[in-house]
Amino acid sequence: MQSLPSRIAAVLLPSLLACGWVAWMARPLSDGGESDHLVRSLERSLTRRDPQLVVVGNSTIHSDLELRQLSRWQGGEASVKLELPGTTAPTWYLLLRDRVYGAGHQPGWIVVAGPPSSLLEPRLWTPAQLSRTLAVATRLDHETEARLYGERPHERLLSRIAARRGATRRAVVHGIRDLAAGLLFAPYGAGSVIERGSEIAAASYSARLRDVGGEPAAGAVVGRAGQRSGAALSPEASFVPDLVSLARAQGSEILFVALPLLQPPDAELEAATDALGAWLEAESVPFVDLHRLPLSPQEFSDEIHLNEDGRRRLMSELMAALTEARPVRSVPLEVVADLLAGEVSFAGPPPAIHHAPPRWGRTAALVAVQGGAYLPLAPMLAVSTRHGCTPIQILHDGVPQAIFPGRQGPMFPLPEVSDRGGDWVVALRPDRRCDWWAHSGEPWQRVLTRGAEGYRRAPSAEARAALEAGRWIYPADEARFSVEDAAGAELLELSGFALRGEGIGLELICDGAVAASWRLEPERLDGGLVRLELEPLPPGPVVLRIQGEGGGFVYLVRLQLLHSVPGPPGP
């Protein structure tokens, strides 16, 4: 028979342990800083570069926004996309406060993007949101915690328990996963086995997100606000004012972008979104509202994420809005001289081909172009150039998509070519030093190997005209674009692509003297529009010299000298 002290201990000890566990689960979330592989991945992205442009949001920014185009909007500055699937504005505020500014980063621009309900959401609702918020926050004061989880004591208590439960589960499950990944897949290197396993797991997760277009849980991304009356939402009650105040206090500009959903929001949420636009306008904060953009269901991959066609259309609208909001000049511009239409000469012997594809023709099938020879292809193909000096360009429905380096080897897959339909053109432009088309005797069927059977047809006249509108500048070539007169020109405007190389050198010569010179990074001329300011040019002949540095190809589709037109200022 047990003694009385033993009986008391048998009753009290489990009770004390249970009470201690409940007290730990319900304690204030003031410590933050819980481990999360996504947060560690974001921190590594910030550490690798000092970003001047930071884009924050949920998985919709992964599927809907193209970071390179936003970077070009800011002149090619270093940029990073901080994506936390399933989160809303409260989490983004803490992410910027603690992981961006708190880590010493000072970006010039912050872009906050998401569906309207994600921007306006004043608090957290789901366990996933609680866990992610706890992961990004290094500190949570009582006031912020009350806003995130609710003013009522029982709401805060239940939220704390849910967050602790998720954090504990994540620590155990992710710990086992990271250990297994580290032991089985991680290469030997610095750091513990668990840390190296975490990097492998994070890379695998990111690859999976790229495959599926984002995290598919629509409710987690849209938030509870999208499922309840929008009348309860207001800009003043949301974290939008906090985001604006935080950015301004740190000397950053901030831009808000409302992204579309497959199902439009109800009338109350529409009214709340209009109120958000009015509040931001009153605060002189730029706001691009794209949630009403008329997109078809075929342009969505699911209820919240756009596919490639939808993203292209949205980015076109976004970049147009940003260009109008931040013009290079505040007055209208007029073309003084079109350098591509003027006289063009090249240093050294003339290369095999200088004219090449810019925009796309209206062909019924995919077309490959080399000189005057055309070969239609199926929607999926792979190209074998066998020479690394053969650039390959992809265009779709008249719009340049990308250029790729040729690869030695049996096959070269072109990732931009897919089964999404439309008119495709693939153009191969061999360097004159690799002009093996003339002497190799290798038939086209051996060069462009997959999917060519049964698709032979000649391109349209529009396709031929579009494919001859641009200019290639090959490695070691110096192109000289000349016009008789460009008096008064104040801007040099160019658009195109750069392939490989270390930079693009430009030199503007007036009457034999250098008037201006620039050096562009290759990434800056990646399909975007570049405008370079210069002093008004005097009357007389003008020569622009362009050369790809470090063995790079340059492909130009626009090259113009502009000047301002007297009149009332533009927007």
CA 129 to chain centre: 24
Looking at mean pLDDT, say which of 218-232, 355-369, 461-475 comes out highest. Answer: 461-475
Specify the higher pLDDT residue, 232 or 422. 232
* Mean pLDDT value of segment 44-72: 84
CB 402 within 8 A of CB 497: yes
pLDDT at 382 over 70: no
Give me the mean pLDDT over the 518-544 stretch: 80
- 396, 402, 403, 409 alpha-carbon torsion, rounded to 10°: -80
**Helix, coil or strand: residue 57:** strand
pLDDT band at 200 (very low <50, low <70, confident <90, very high): low
Of 564 and 425, the one with more pLDDT: 564
Q: Same domain for 487 and 505?
A: yes
pLDDT of residue 356: 33
Task: Verify that 427 and 504 share a domain, yes or no.
Answer: no
Alpha carbon distance 213, 47 (integer Å) = 25
pLDDT band at residue 467 under the 50/70/90 scheme: low
Based on the fold, state whether residues 433 and 506 are members of the same structural domain: no
Q: Are residues 67 and 137 in the same domain?
A: yes
Question: Which of 324 and 245 is assigned the larger pLDDT?
Answer: 245
Between 24 and 87, the higher pLDDT residue = 87
* 136: amino acid identity, one letter: V
Amino acid at 10: A
- Contacts of 305-308 with C-beta under 8 Å, sequence gap 24+, read 305/59, 305/60, 305/62, 305/63, 305/64, 305/213, 305/214, 305/216, 306/63, 306/64, 306/213, 306/260, 307/63, 307/213, 307/420, 308/418, 308/420
Which residues touch 295 (CB under 8 Å, ≥6 apart)? 260, 306, 310, 313, 314
Give the C-alpha separation, 55 to 61, whole Å. 8
Residue 78 falls within a domain, yes or no? Answer: yes
Q: 345 pLDDT exceeds 60?
A: yes
Give the residue, 229 or 178, on which the prediction is more confident: 178
Residue 147 pLDDT grade (very low, low, confident, very high; cuts 50, 70, 90):
confident
- Please indicate, yes or no, if residue 177 is contained in any of the structural domains: no
Q: What span, in angstroms and rounded, lies between the C-alpha atoms of 399 and 162?
A: 50
For residues 77 and 320, the model is more confident at 320
Range ranked top by mean pLDDT from 284-298, 328-342, 376-390: 284-298
Q: By the 8 A CB rule, do 429 and 356 touch?
A: yes
Higher pLDDT, 230 or 346: 346
Same domain, 234 and 318: yes
pTM over 0.75: no
Reported as type and span, the H/E element at residue 334 is: strand 333-338
- Phi, psi of 354, rounded to the nearest 5 degrees: -115, -25
**Beta strands at 373-377 and 287-289: parallel, antiparallel or unpaired:** unpaired
- Domain assignment of residue 182, yes or no: no
240 and 317 in a single domain? The answer is yes
Give the list of residues 6+ apart from residue 518 with CB closer than 8 angstroms, or none: 505, 506, 532
Contacts of 375 (CB under 8 A, 6+ apart): 367, 368, 444, 448, 452, 456
CATH assignment at residue 99: 3.40.50.1110
Domain boundary among 467, 492, 509: 467
pLDDT at 380: 36
Residue type for position 387: H
- Give the pLDDT of residue 529: 67
CA–CA separation, 180 and 16 (whole Å): 35
The pair of three-digit structure tokens given for residue 176, joined into one six-digit string: 């086992």
Lowest mean pLDDT among 188-197, 198-207, 248-257, 492-501: 198-207
What is the pLDDT confidence band of residue 79, given thresholds at 50, 70 and 90? confident
Cα of 32 vs its chain's centroid, Å: 29
Is 281 in the same domain as 429? no
What confidence score (pLDDT) does residue 544 get?
A: 92
Per the model's pLDDT, the better-predicted residue between 500 and 298 turns out to be 298
**More confidently predicted of 425 and 275:** 275
At 502, the pLDDT band (50, 70, 90 cuts) reads confident
Look at residue 450 in the predicted model and tell me its pLDDT.
Answer: 38
Higher pLDDT, 227 or 165: 165
> Residue 495 sits in a domain of what CATH number?
2.60.120.260
Q: Out of 164-168, 221-225, 542-546, which region has the weakest mean confidence (pLDDT)?
A: 221-225
Pair (452, 386) in one structural domain:
yes
Query: Is the residue at 231 inside a domain?
Result: yes
User: Cβ neighbours of residue 512 under 8 Å, at least 6 residues apart?
Assistant: none
Tell me the residue type at 358: P
- Tokens 């989160």 correspond to 87
Label residue 56 by pLDDT band (50, 70, 90). Answer: very high
Q: Which residue type does 435 have?
A: D
Whether 70 maps to a domain, the answer reads yes
**Per-residue pLDDT at 199 exceeds 80:** no
Highest mean pLDDT among 133-147, 150-164, 306-320: 306-320
Are 141 and 247 found together in one domain? yes
Q: What is the pLDDT of residue 62?
A: 86
26, 353, 389 from 469: Cα distances, Å: 68, 13, 22
Domain end residue (candidates: 467, 482, 506): 467
Average pLDDT for 435-458 = 37
pLDDT digit string (tens) for 97-129?
Answer: 988 998 888 898 999 999 998 999 887 776 667
pLDDT above 80 for 289: yes
pLDDT over 50 at 379, yes or no: no
Q: What is the pLDDT of residue 369?
A: 41
Q: What is the torsional sign of CA 531, 534, 539, 544?
A: negative
> E strands along 265-305, which residues?
287-289
Sign of the alpha-carbon torsion through 406, 411, 416, 420: positive
Greater model confidence, 185 or 424:
185
Domain boundary among 442, 467, 492: 467
pLDDT band with cut points at 50, 70 and 90 for residue 453: very low
What are the beta bridge partners of residue 479? 346, 546
Task: Report pLDDT for 270.
Answer: 85
Is residue 433 very low, low, confident or very high in pLDDT (cuts 50, 70, 90)?
A: very low
pLDDT above 90 covers what percent of the chain? 12
The two structure tokens encoding residue 316: 């076109």
Burial class (CB in 10 A: 0-12, 13-18, 19+), 45: middle
pLDDT of residue 96: 93
- Give the pLDDT confidence score for residue 84 in this predicted structure: 86
Ranges of H-type helices in 142-266: 142-149, 153-184, 193-212, 218-222, 240-249
How many folded domains does the chain comprise? 3
Rounded to a whole number of angstroms, the distance between the first and last alpha carbons of the chain is: 92
**Which letter does DSSP use for residue 130 in this model?**
H
Q: Based on the fold, state whether residues 385 and 522 are members of the same structural domain.
A: no
* 15 within a domain of the structure (yes/no): no
- 197 within some domain: no
Amino acid symbol at 304: I
Instruction: Work out the pLDDT band at 254, boundaries 50, 70, 90.
Output: very high
pLDDT digits (tens, 9 = 90+) for 35-46: 456 677 777 778
Amino acid, res. 469: A
User: How many CA atoms does the CB half-sphere of 66 hold within 13 Å?
Assistant: 21
Q: 267 and 388 share a domain? A: no
- Does 118 map to a domain? yes
Average pLDDT over residues 282-290: 90
Same domain, 245 and 383: no
Per-residue pLDDT at 240 exceeds 90: yes
Can you give the residue range of the structural domain that contains 283?
Answer: 37-149+213-325
